[in-house]
Structure 1
Amino acid sequence: MNLRKATVAAAAALVLSVTAAGCGSDGGSSSGGGTAGASGTGGKITVGIKFDQPGIGLKTPDGTYTGLDVDVATYVAKQLGYSPQNIEFKEAKSADRETMLQRGDVDFIAASYSITPTRSEKVDFAGPYLLAHQDVLIRADDDSIKTPADLNTKKLCSVTGSTSAQNVKTKIAPNAQLQEYGGYSECLTGLENKVVDALTTDDSILAGYAAQPAFQGKFKLGGFKMSNENYGIGVQKGSELKAQINTALEKMVADGSWEAAVKKNLGPAGYQNEPAPKIGVVVS
């Protein structure tokens, strides 16, 4: 749905709500200032995802979307009453996610979005739907980084707005030379060209990159579980969508769709995923 179109849409929604009140309704969901109707009404739902994370959220050259977050978002949207053709995907960069939700640019965000206390002050989270761990990606021929402490004095790349680099700086390797780029693809190019020594983010994201045909054999995972990253689906503060999305995620796990999506998107990289997390329980 497009929450920014007011006036005419709001008036139409008012008429529909009055009619529904008189004859019954099969249920809509509130998202910010809008109303999510059932599929077939012509409504759209707008979902924030990453566009540059293979295996997680990727916009391909032909304009299609692939990845675990895409599959999770598509499943959730279907449970909310929206068919795939009624989903509008919008790029949600790490630094922009809270702002996008607060402005109502999107209805929910599934974009490798780790649940943290700071973020939870600004937005609400459904989930978590995946437990990942922070790791590093290094060049395959680099034997100088064998432990997290070896990152000290190294040039460490991460994405602006991500918690990963700061975790390393404050908790693990305070002398690492932090370099923040706008996207993981830029970090990957810098790693390949030896501009940086390591790329840090979640192991699920790194595995997706390492598995790409163009990069196979060039990089390796450090194998460090430096943090727990609970992936959640972000919604506006106070939105009724949180409870509805949680119900959808519970169903996705129960019917096997969650396991199938994880194996399809991350299995080719040899990624050993944790069991499905319990919805509503954040692992510290």
Structure 2
Amino acid sequence: MRGVATRVGLAVAGAATVLATAGCGTVSGRNSVADAKSLVIGVNGDQPGLSSRTADGTYEGFDIDVARYIAGRLGATVTFRPVTSATRESMIQTGAVDLVVASYSITQDRKTKVAFAGSYYVAHQDILVRATDAPAIRDVHDLAGRRLCRVPGSVSFPRVREERGVDVRAQDAPGYTGCLEQLLGGRLDAVSTDDLILAGLAATSGAAGGTGKRLRIVNAPFSDEPYGIGIARGDLDGCTAVNQAITRMYQDGTAERLLRKWFTPVGLKVTTTVPQFEGCD
């Protein structure tokens, strides 16, 4: 694995290359986020540790802190607006939000609809089960015949049943907080999605410390999930500016501090080197 300095250098070089070739950085009918004085950023409201809405209506979590940092580096104020896995693309396309920071995995299909800055972290899909079921569920193939949570718009469920060919039974929930409630209530057998999301769910359930843990992460990752920042296609200047902010976030130690703040208390090993960027296109 390359060192931090090498990877940061590559990220900066990549951002410079995009800037040099960007041309007009303004989206048709919309100003570039690079020039914005205020930003509306789409975030999740039901992913503890990543992005959740508190009782007083504010938001907290790793993604929220990342969004605030990036807005600050761009010199803009920020307003958060809730999105879901099913609405992220449409809200970017219609201009309802300027950016989306919402555990938004970069996929080829999504890149046909929106652009991505980053990635700003690479998560890994894993499995969360009740502790009593952990001895019988040790990897993704052990989910065969079991009830697995399915969230509309998320790629996590199709990755298990279609890409991995595991014959699971779908149990629908509107979001991952709903998955957690059903798992704890015995209405489904497992939740499979990004390990950062699972770590937040486990912490919320009280599984993070002491004895008698109710939930357990299987620790059998089977995918890479590069988290990108969704942005309108054509805003090359904005994408480049966000990439530069992400690079700085790793250079100045903010990324490592935030990752450790939100995820090491639940025992998740985090990666603190800057991820490889996808490129603005």
After TM superposition, give the deviation of residue 197 of structure 1 in Å. Answer: 0.4
| Residues 169-226 of structure 1, C-alpha deviations (whole Å, 9 max, x = no match) | 0132431112232111111111111110001110111001111264552110011111
**Match in the other structure for 1:138:** 129
After TM superposition, give the deviation of residue 161 of structure 1 in Å. Answer: 0.7
TM-score (ref. length: structure 2)? 0.83
**Match in the other structure for 1:81:** 75
After TM superposition, give the deviation of residue 164 of structure 1 in Å. Answer: 0.7
Contact 1:246/1:279 (<8 A) preserved:
no
**Match in the other structure for 1:112:** 103
**Match in the other structure for 2:61:** 67
| Residues 120-155 of structure 1, C-alpha deviations (whole Å, 9 max, x = no match) | 111110000111100111001113212211111000
Of all paired residues, the percent bearing the same amino acid is 38
1:254 aligns with 2:245: no
**Match in the other structure for 2:92:** 101
1:236 aligns with 2:227: no
Matched position secondary structure for 1:227: coil
CA distance 1:78–1:208, change in 2 (3 Å): same
Task: Give the total of aligned pairs.
Answer: 248
Query: What stretches of structure 1 of length at least 5 have no aligned partner?
Result: 1-28
Larger Rg: 1
Query: What stretches of structure 2 of length at least 5 have no aligned partner?
Result: 1-24
CA distance 1:107–1:144, change in 2 (3 Å): same
After TM superposition, give the deviation of residue 55 of structure 1 in Å. Answer: 0.8
TM-score (ref. length: structure 1)? 0.82
CA distance 1:281–1:101, change in 2 (3 Å): closer
Higher relative CO (CA 8 A, sep ≥ 6), structure 1 or 2?
2
Amino acid corresponding to residue 195 of structure 2 in structure 1: D
Write the distance in 2 (CA, Å) between the matches of 1:231 and 1:70: 14
Alignment root-mean-square deviation, CA? 1.9
CA distance 1:70–1:45, change in 2 (3 Å): same
Write the distance in 1 (CA, Å) between the matches of 2:38 and 2:245: 18
1:147 aligns with 2:139: yes
Q: Which of these residues, 221, 224, 227, is aligned with residue 225 of structure 1?
A: 221
How does 1:159-198 map onto structure 2 within 5 Å? 159-198=151-190
Write the distance in 2 (CA, Å) between the matches of 1:278 and 1:130: 6
Contact 1:207/1:271 (<8 A) preserved:
yes
Moved over 3 A (4+): 29-32, 34-39, 213-216
After TM superposition, give the deviation of residue 275 of structure 1 in Å. Answer: 3.5
CA distance 1:214–1:270, change in 2 (3 Å): closer
After TM superposition, give the deviation of residue 274 of structure 1 in Å. Answer: 2.3
**Match in the other structure for 2:30:** 33
Amino acid corresponding to residue 246 of structure 1 in structure 2: N
Larger mean Cα displacement after TM superposition, 213-222 or 112-121 = 213-222
Write the distance in 1 (CA, Å) between the matches of 2:168 and 2:128: 15
Amino acid corresponding to residue 219 of structure 1 in structure 2: L
